[in-house]
Each structure stands twice: as C-alpha cells, then as structure tokens.
C-alpha cells in the first residue's frame, strides 16, 4: 500500500514539474527554456555573478512577475479545488459532489465580490480582507445548504444537492445584483465569475499559500476517518470514528480551502468534480493516496488549462473557467459512459 | 462476569416508539440469539449495544461503564458490529474494507503495520474471502459482501461480536460455515456473541440463550426449549407451528 503510494506520488511530481516548465515557457511571448533557466538561476544568490545577462529586461519581468506567480497560483487553486472536491465526495458518499455544485464556491464568490465591488478596503490590520470575506460566504452557504438538507438529524443526499443548486442560483443572482449596482467594469467581473487566473492579485499569494498548504495537511490527517465515513456513517461509528465531529470539522476546513481558491481565482468549475474522479480511477478510493494525488493532478490540470487559455488567442486570453469546463465536461461524460 | 448490559432502554424514531424499557444482561462468552417478527426492534436494539444509536433514556454498560462515556476507539476495539448490508459507493477492494476493521488500532499519522496485515489476512481466511481480496466490493454478490463485513468485524479483534442477520444472504454451505466459525470463536476464544436471526431454527441451534422481541419489548428470554413453544410462537408470530425434535416446522 505504501509502495503504491510512493510510486503514484513520484509519477505525479514528475508530471507536475513538467507542466510547471511548460507553463513557464509557453505564452504570448515564447521564452526559450535555456534562457528562462538562466533568468531563474540568476535570481539565486551565489549564482548571480556566474551568469552573464544575455536577455532583455522585459523577459525577466514577464518570467518573475507574471509567469511564475501565475503558474504557482494555478497549482495552488487546482490543488485546493481538487482536494475540496475529493473530501466533499467522500463525506457525502456522492461522486457528484464538488464545491461548485454544493454552492460553497458561489457563497465564497458572494463574500469576495462584496469586498471587490464595493469600495471596502482590501487590507485590514495588514491582512487581506477578500479571503476572509470569501470564507464567511462559503461557511454561510455550507450552513444554509446543510441546514436545508437536515431533517430529524439526518442528511438527505437529494435535498443536499438540490439545496446546493438553489443556493448557487440565489447567490449568483445576488452577485449580479451587486455588479449592477456597483460601477466597476462589467466585463472584468463577468470574467471573474467564469473563473480566471489572470489576476492582478498575485500579491495575495504569499498570504494564501501557507494557509492553503496547512489546510490541506490538516485535512490529509483525517484520511483514515474519511475512508471509513465514505463507506458508511453508521459503520464509521462502529469502527471508532467520531463521525459527527470529524464531518463538521472537515466541512469547515474544506469550505475554507474552497474560499481561498475562489478569492484569488473566481468561480473555476469542474476541477473539483472531475479531478478527484480521474484520480480515483487511477489510484483507487483510499483517501490516503487519493487526496495528495488529487492535489497534484488538480495542479497539473489547471496549469495546463491556464497555459492554453493565455496562449491560443494571445495576446488576448480566455477565462480559465471556460477552458476547464470545455475540457472537463466532455471528458467527464466520456468517463461516465465508459464506466457503464 | 457481565460484559454488556442494557438498562431500561427506550428509543423511538419520531412519534413511533421502537424500544420500550428493555433490560438485557449479557455474560462474558454468552451466545445470545435475538429473534422476533419484523419491526419488533431487533436491529435498533443491536445498534444501541455498540453506540450506533443513543438511547432516549436508559443506559448501555460495557463492563459496568456507560459506553457513551467510553472512548469511541476503545468501544470499537471491544465491540464489533456486522450490519445487515451496506451500500458502498466507492470502489474499495475487499482487502481495503477488511483493513478498515483495524482503524481503531491505527494511529492517525501512520500506515498499517505488519501486525495489522497479519490480522487482516487471517480474518479474511476465516471468513473465506481471501480468494477475492483484490476485487472491488461493488462487484460482489450480497452473500460475499456479508462475509467481507464479518471479516472486517473479526479484524477488530472484539470481545463482543454483534451480528445482524449474518446469514440472510448466504447459501446453505456458507450459512453453516459462518455459524460454525462464530460458534468456534465463541467457544474457543470466548468471544461474546449477540446475533439477530430470522431463522428461529438456526438461532435455537446455535444460541445458548434466546431473546424474543415483540413490538419493542422483550416478550420472553431464556434457553431455546423455554422460548420456542407452540404457544409462544402463536402469540408472537401469529402462526401455528409443529415442533419436531427441537426444530420449528410451519
């Protein structure tokens, strides 16, 4: 079991490294791999002197201020959404659950858009406000969806998904209302609603990266419990899992993780749904392998999708969420069909 | 020594009262059969004994201590439950499901050890599921699945084994194998067994003591000879039966 884990993790890491390089080299301005490596090495203290500057100033800027942060953002958002999806699917014992479908993403988007579209300050006490607002929104929607689906202490799955869809609609409508009332550029907001990594908020990266990584690690610690819960909640109790407590904790942590992703990338759909699926088909349903592998696969998928977004019609670009949906939708249908 | 006790348990789902003032006392190494018509509260009672459900009033004691005050993992190491059936959505393998029986023993930060692998291997062998240990649980027949759940319960290495209709989906040879296995565990390893059965004959044959439930109350309890009489069966099940050498014939 442990060997299988190592093999898949290694495979994932190699693919991830490859896609990071692709994401860095490809774009509106093609950068030669050799040159890019030189630029990056020149930023490492100790190497600097030994590398002659043979590139133009703007190449270095594109690499260090746009490409690399953007690839890292794609990795982070892809991993966060995929881990969230994997956890929601396990908790709800439903392979159709994901943060987008459950309304958690749109709750986060509502919270974030209130800050972005009104003239509220972006920083408070030195901390970025948007992720907190997104988290508040995500928790609110989770609370509503969960509350609606809960009757007599039991969660009905159908009601849960249905209330997710309804919350999704209502919150999207509220966001549209705020957009209409505010006087910010509509096109920009619509793109954000579709999900994009073309973000001027790369300065949020140093704040959200450590938090997202810690969240994912804490979630990962509950993999064993999640395995048993994914089999059956009642059985989980027989097997010594504090089911209710673990479920609540995981719902909150996962909502936080989703909120972080949404606060920097908008509503990128499909990643949280298809990536855990594909990961499960490759490594099986054991969350101890599934969670880290989903994170890697999600990162790879979003880096590659985003590279596509910003290079096919360069210098313009397509919202990342559009590409993930166009790629993800048919692929998902194909997988479902093949399974039958 | 009393290993498990139910004291004046009451439970209802909403308006419907399912269990009324149940008192049950289980001695170590007892083999108890719970019988009764559909809807008499058998499964509900069994779930209360392993903290799957919380009684509305009354207490369940394991070795004299309230099981809701004991550590969840401690309870799972001592009391194992084999549910009637469970739908499993994700394609876990048989091995993975049986390994979950070790989860009360496996630390959050570690993977299964050699000891866990050995225990799982022997549990799978005992329940005769080792042959298909790498198959997905959703590809199995309900009888095969039932044996997998039995293997999982054995992997918990419990002192008390609760079984909810463990033979309902099994064919005769496996019914016999499983019940013989449970009997051996009971007699040789002194595991306490509480088993629900629809089959009054099987229950009488294997249990040292029968508990007959009717409408959420214990109608009568004791050795099979005392419980299975023509009169009692007529009163509880409403059918006339013939008793043949300790077996019931409809």
| A240 with B103: Cβ contact below 8 A | yes
Pick the CATH number of B2-249 from 3.40.50.300, 3.40.190.10, 3.30.750.24, 3.40.50.1460: 3.40.50.300
> CA dihedral in degrees (A56, A60, A65, A67; nearest 10)?
100
Where would I find the beta strands (DSSP E) of chain B?
A: 2-13, 16-27, 31-35, 57-62, 65-66, 79-82, 160-164, 192-196, 209-214, 217-222, 242-244, 247-249
Query: By C-alpha distance, which of A287, A243, A255 is closest to A155?
Result: A243
Mutation target among A161, A219, A224 for the B interface, most CBs of B within 10 A: A224
pLDDT tens for chain A, 340 residues long, are 677 788 899 999 999 999 998 888 887 777 777 777 777 777 776 666 667 677 677 777 777 778 888 999 999 999 999 999 999 999 988 877 888 878 888 898 888 888 877 766 666 666 677 888 888 999 899 889 888 887 766 667 678 778 888 898 899 889 888 888 877 666 766 777 788 887 666 777 888 899 999 999 999 999 999 999 999 888 899 999 988 889 889 988 999 999 889 888 888 888 998 899 999 989 999 999 999 999 999 999 999 999 988 888 877 788 888 888 888 778 767 766 765 4
Q: Which uninterrupted H or E stretch holds B44?
A: helix B42-48
| B100 with A227: Cβ contact below 8 A | yes
Q: Which residue is it, tokens 């990342």?
A: A320
How far does A42 lie from chain B, in Å, by closest CA?
Answer: 40
Rg (CA), chain B: 18
Choose among B74, B86, B109: nearest Cβ to A235. B86
pLDDT of residue B248: 67
Query: Given a cut of 70, is residue B206 above it in pLDDT?
Result: yes
The domains found in chain A, sorted by start residue, are 2-339 (1.10.3470.10)
A224 contacts in B (CB within 8 Å)?
A: 103, 106, 108
Rg (CA), chain A: 20
More confident residue, B139 or A121: B139
Task: Report the C-alpha gap between A180 and A49 in whole angstroms.
Answer: 54
| B109 with A230: Cβ contact below 8 A | no
Main-chain phi, psi angles of A118, to 5 degrees: -90, 175
Name the region of A150 (left: φ>0; alpha: ψ -120 to 50; beta: rest): beta
pLDDT of residue B250: 57
Choose among A95, A152, A224: nearest Cβ to B14. A152
- A contact residues 148-207, partner B, Cβ 8 Å cutoff: 152
pLDDT of residue B246: 59
Main-chain phi, psi angles of B246, to 5 degrees: 85, -5
How far does A234 lie from chain B, in Å, by closest CA?
Answer: 6
* Mean pLDDT over the full length of chain B: 89
Task: Report the C-alpha gap between B47 and B53 in whole angstroms.
Answer: 6
Sign of the torsion angle spanned by Cα atoms B111, B114, B119, B124: positive
Question: Which chain B residue lies closest to A222 (C-alpha atoms)?
Answer: B108
Choose among A1, A90, A225: nearest Cβ to B112. A1
In chain B, domain spans: 2-249
A233 contacts in B (CB within 8 Å)?
A: none
- pTM score of the predicted model: 0.89
Query: Given a cut of 80, is residue B46 above it in pLDDT?
Result: yes
- Which residues does residue B211 pair with via DSSP β-bridges, in sequence order? B34, B221
B86 close to A (CB below 8 A): yes
Indicate the range of A126-130, B12-16, B120-124, B241-245 predicted with least confidence. A126-130
Mean pLDDT across the stretch B76-102? 91
- B contact residues 7-26, partner A, Cβ 8 Å cutoff: 14
How far does B23 lie from chain A, in Å, by closest CA?
Answer: 22
pLDDT of residue A48: 64
pLDDT of residue B106: 87
Cα angle vertex A148, ends A143, A151, to 5°?
A: 115
B88 close to A (CB below 8 A): yes
């Amino acid at each position: 079991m442990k060997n299988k884990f190592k093999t898949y993790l290694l495979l994932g890491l190699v693919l991830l490294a490859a896609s990071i390089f692709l994401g860095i080299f490809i774009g509106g301005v093609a950068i030669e791999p050799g040159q890019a490596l030189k630029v990056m090495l020149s930023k490492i203290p100790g190497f600097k002197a030994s590398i002659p500057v043979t590139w133009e100033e703007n190449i270095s800027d594109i690499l260090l201020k746009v490409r690399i942060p953007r690839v890292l953002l794609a990795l982070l958002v892809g991993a966060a959404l995929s881990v969230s999806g994997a956890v929601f699917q396990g908790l709800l014992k439903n392979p159709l659950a994901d943060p987008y479908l459950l309304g958690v993403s749109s709750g986060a988007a509502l919270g974030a858009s209130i800050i972005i579209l009104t003239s509220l300050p972006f920083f408070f006490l030195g901390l970025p406000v948007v992720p907190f607002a997104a988290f508040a929104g995500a928790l609110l929607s989770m609370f509503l969806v969960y509350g609606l689906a809960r009757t007599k202490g039991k969660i009905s799955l159908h009601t849960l998904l249905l209330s997710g869809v309804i919350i999704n609609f209502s919150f999207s409508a509220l966001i549209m209302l705020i957009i209409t009332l505010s006087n910010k550029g509509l096109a920009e907001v619509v793109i954000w609603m579709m999900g994009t990594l073309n973000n001027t908020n790369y300065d949020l990266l140093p704040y959200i990266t450590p938090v997202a990584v810690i969240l994912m690690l804490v979630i990962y610690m509950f993999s064993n419990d999640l395995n048993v819960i994914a089999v059956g909640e009642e059985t989980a109790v027989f097997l010594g899992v504090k089911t209710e407590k673990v479920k609540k904790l995981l719902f909150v942590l996962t909502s936080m993780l989703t909120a972080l992703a949404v606060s920097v990338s908008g509503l990128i759909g499909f990643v949280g749904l298809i990536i855990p699926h594909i990961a499960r088909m490759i490594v099986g349903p054991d969350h101890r392998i599934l969670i880290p592998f989903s994170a890697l696969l999600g990162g790879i998928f979003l880096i590659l999708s985003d590279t596509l977004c910003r290079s096919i019609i360069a210098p313009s670009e397509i919202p990342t969420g559009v590409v993930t949906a166009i790629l993800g939708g048919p692929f998902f249908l194909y997988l479902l069909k093949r399974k039958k | 020594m009393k290993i498990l006790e139910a004291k004046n348990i009451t439970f209802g789902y909403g308006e419907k009262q399912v269990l009324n003032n149940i008192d049950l006392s289980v001695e170590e190494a007892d083999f108890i059969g719970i019988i009764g018509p559909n809807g008499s509260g058998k499964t509900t009672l069994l779930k209360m004994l392993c903290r799957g459900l919380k009684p509305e009033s009354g207490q369940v004691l394991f070795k004299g201590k309230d099981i809701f005050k004991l550590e969840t993992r401690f309870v799972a190491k001592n009391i194992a439950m084999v549910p009637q059936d469970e739908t499993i959505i994700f394609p876990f393998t048989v091995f993975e499901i049986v390994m979950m029986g070790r989860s009360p023993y496996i630390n959050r930060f570690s993977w299964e050890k050699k000891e866990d692998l050995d225990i799982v291997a022997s549990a799978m062998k005992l329940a005769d599921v080792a042959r298909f240990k790498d198959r997905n649980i959703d590809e199995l027949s309900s009888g095969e699945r039932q044996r997998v759940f039995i293997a999982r319960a054995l992997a918990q290495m419990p002192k008390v084994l609760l079984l909810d209709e463990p033979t309902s989906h099994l064919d005769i040879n496996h019914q016999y194998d499983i019940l013989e296995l449970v009997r051996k565990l009971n007699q040789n390893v002194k595991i306490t067994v509480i088993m629900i059965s629809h089959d009054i004959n099987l229950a009488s044959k294997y249990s040292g003591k029968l508990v007959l439930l009717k409408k959420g109350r214990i109608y009568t309890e004791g050795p099979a000879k005392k419980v299975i009489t023509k009169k009692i069966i007529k009163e509880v099940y409403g059918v006339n039966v013939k008793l043949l050498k300790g077996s019931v014939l409809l």
